[in-house]
């Protein structure tokens, strides 16, 4: 089966996806009987569109981008000025990979791309958290109406299979609570503070030098990235009614070496935890640094790794940890979603 793919957004995650596509296409065809074809790639200045059955040559496109080129000047495939929505109408693709930058204000341009793709019955795989956070219910309804899928693993902690575990492995159980370390930057900083007594500023600078933390880490260290992922997870598991404003959020900037030392004296560690739990038959969400006993399954998750722990009524506690915190990890989650949409 041929799967014609359009990629919107060629930042780090989008390029990592195209690279995985080039590397794994033969393996995917053998293992899953899916021939993955890159039909179009869209970025800020335009697009490259491959109208033939073989689509765009992914390897040469990557080489062109690495040498400083752009999709809109990629030889015979170039379509300068072509927008994502226009490309969706023209490229004859069956699946959209949405990897444009996250916009938590209005979800654009990702929302426009996703709406256009679902309206055409395309499978949508999104790493973009903005449209999913703001318009989850609307997008799910559009997918139902057009009998296609909205797949968002990469928007909920990249390679960590947060939703896969809940939807597949916990099917039939009632989820009583969710606890997650959902941001690799903050976990790295707190891990360094716990292990070596480093000050927050020192650990942050080290994380930035290693490429773990952004130059402007405000959304991470303020807890907002964790809150965004928590809302998306909660909307998938408990019903699409939660907003970012529903989450009391405290970041890690106020955590001091003294706080870390006092916790250690009591046999505890401090982690930034996103929590969804039933309180009086109502789901409550929160994000804050928490002192965890060392036997807690999240307490031993260190460095830039992430984890999620589900408490259920029939299976007790199920915890999964790890998952690469990088563009490659996010791209791999998107490839997984794409394959699972068709097999």
* Structure confidence by residue, pLDDT tens digits, 52-79: 999 999 999 999 999 999 999 999 999 9
Low-confidence ranges of the chain (pLDDT < 50): none
Q: What is the CATH number of the domain that holds 105?
A: 3.40.50.720
> Is 181 in the same domain as 77?
no
What's residue 239's pLDDT? 85
Same domain, 302 and 153: no
Reading the block at residue 104, the tokens are: 């938590």
Give pLDDT, residue 40: 98
Could you tell me if 13 and 107 lie in one domain? Answer: yes
CA 66 to chain centre: 24
Do 24 and 53 reside in the same domain of the chain? Answer: yes
Domain identity same for 93 and 169: no
* CB proximity list for 182: less than 8 A, separation 6 or greater: 156, 157, 160, 162, 225, 226, 229, 230, 274, 306, 308
CATH code of 254's domain: 3.30.360.10
The strand pairing partners of 279, in sequence order, are 282
**Are residues 53 and 135 part of one domain?**
yes
pLDDT for the residue 211: 85
- Per-residue model confidence (pLDDT) at position 91: 87
142 and 208 fall within a common domain: no
Q: pLDDT value at position 44?
A: 94
**Shared-domain flag, residues 170 and 36:** no
Same domain, 334 and 316: no
Q: Provide the pLDDT for residue 330.
A: 93
Q: Tell me, yes or no, whether 123 and 187 share the same domain.
A: no
The helix or strand, by DSSP H or E, that contains position 150, with its residue range, turns out to be: strand 150-151
Residue indicated by tokens 């299979």: 161
Give the burial class of 207: count Cβ atoms within 10 A of its Cβ; 0-12 exposed, 13-18 middle, 19 or more buried: buried
| pLDDT at res. 206 | 93
Q: Is 229 a catalytic residue?
A: yes
Residues 229 and 242 in one domain: yes
Q: Cβ contacts of residue 69 below 8 Å, gap of 6+? A: none
Number of domains the chain contains: 2
Q: Domain range for residue 235?
A: 162-322
Q: Tens of pLDDT along 251-281?
A: 999 999 999 999 999 999 999 999 999 988 8
* 3-class secondary structure, 278: strand
Catalytic residue selected from 15, 229, 271, 306: 229
Shared-domain flag, residues 297 and 179: yes
């Amino acid at each position: 089966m041929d799967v014609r793919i359009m990629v919107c957004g060629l930042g780090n995650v989008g390029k990592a996806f195209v690279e995985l596509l080039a590397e794994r296409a033969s393996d995917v065809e053998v293992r899953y009987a899916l021939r993955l074809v890159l039909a179009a790639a869209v970025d800020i200045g335009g697009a490259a569109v491959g109208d033939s059955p073989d689509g765009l040559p992914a390897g040469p496109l990557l080489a062109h981008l690495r040498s400083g080129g752009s999709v809109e000047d990629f030889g015979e495939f170039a379509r300068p000025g072509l927008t994502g929505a226009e490309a969706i109408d023209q490229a004859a693709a069956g699946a959209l990979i949405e990897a444009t930058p996250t916009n938590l204000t209005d979800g654009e341009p990702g929302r426009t791309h996703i709406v256009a793709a679902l309206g055409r019955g395309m499978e949508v795989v999104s790493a973009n958290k903005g449209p999913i956070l703001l318009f989850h219910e609307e997008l799910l309804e559009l997918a139902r109406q057009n009998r296609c899928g909205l797949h968002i693993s990469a928007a909920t902690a990249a390679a960590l299979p947060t939703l896969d575990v809940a939807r597949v492995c916990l099917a039939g159980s009632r989820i009583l609570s969710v606890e997650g370390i959902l941001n690799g930057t903050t976990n790295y900083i707190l891990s360094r503070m716990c292990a070596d007594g480093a000050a927050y500023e020192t650990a942050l600078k080290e994380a930035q030098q290693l490429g773990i933390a952004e130059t402007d880490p405000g959304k991470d260290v303020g807890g907002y990235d964790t809150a965004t992922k928590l809302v998306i997870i909660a909307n998938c598991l408990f019903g699409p009614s939660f907003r970012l404003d529903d989450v009391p959020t405290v970041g890690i900037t106020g955590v001091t070496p003294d706080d870390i030392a006092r916790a250690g004296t009591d046999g505890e560690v401090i982690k930034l935890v996103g929590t969804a739990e039933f309180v009086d038959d109502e789901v409550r969400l929160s994000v804050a640094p928490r002192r965890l006993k060392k036997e807690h399954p999240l307490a031993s998750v260190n460095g830039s790794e992430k984890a999620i722990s589900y408490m259920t009524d029939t299976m007790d506690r199920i915890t999964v940890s790890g998952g690469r915190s990088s563009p490659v990890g996010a791209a791999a989650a998107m490839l997984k979603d794409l394959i699972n949409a068709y097999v």
